[in-house]
Amino acid sequence: MIASSVRCAACVLAVAAVPLFAQSGDAAKGKAVVESNGCLRCHRIGENGSRTGPNLSEIGDKRSAEQLKTSITDPDAEVLPENRFVAVTLKDGSVVRGRILNHDAMSVQLIDGKQNLRSFLTADIRGYTILTKGLMPKPNLTDEQVADVVAYLSSLKGTEAP
Ligand code: HEC
- In the chain, where are the structural domains located? 25-79+145-157, 85-131
State mean pLDDT over 13-30: 67
Largest CA distance in the chain: 59
**Least confident residue range of 63-67, 89-93, 130-134, 151-155:** 130-134
Task: Tell which phi-psi region holds residue 100, choosing left (phi > 0), alpha (psi between -120 and 50) or beta.
Answer: beta
What count of Cα atoms within 13 Å lies in the side-chain half-sphere of residue 7?
8
Q: Which of 71, 132, 148 maximizes ligand 1 atoms within 8 Å of its Cβ, making it the mutation to test the pocket?
A: 71
What's domain 85-131's architecture?
Roll (2.30)
The confidence score (pLDDT) of residue 146 equals 97
User: Strands 107-112 and 95-103: what pairing?
Assistant: antiparallel
* Proportion of the chain above pLDDT 90, given as a percent: 73
Q: Which of 152, 155, 157 is nearest to 28 (CA)?
A: 152
For ligand 1, whether the C-beta of 81 sits within 6 Å is no
Whole-number mean pLDDT of the chain? Answer: 87
For ligand 1, whether the C-beta of 80 sits within 6 Å is yes
Q: Which of 31, 43, 61, 148 maximizes ligand 1 atoms within 8 Å of its Cβ, making it the mutation to test the pocket?
A: 43
What count of Cα atoms within 13 Å lies in the side-chain half-sphere of residue 83?
19
User: In 3-state terms, what secondary structure has residue 134?
Assistant: coil
Gap from CA of 41 to ligand 1 centroid (Å): 10
pLDDT tens, 89-120? Answer: 999 999 999 999 998 889 999 999 999 999 99
Q: What is the CATH number of domain 25-79+145-157?
A: 1.10.760.10
Q: At what angle do helices 65-73 and 143-154 cross, to 10 degrees?
A: 130
Beta strands in 113-158 (DSSP E): 117-121, 125-131
Gap from CA of 79 to ligand 1 centroid (Å): 10
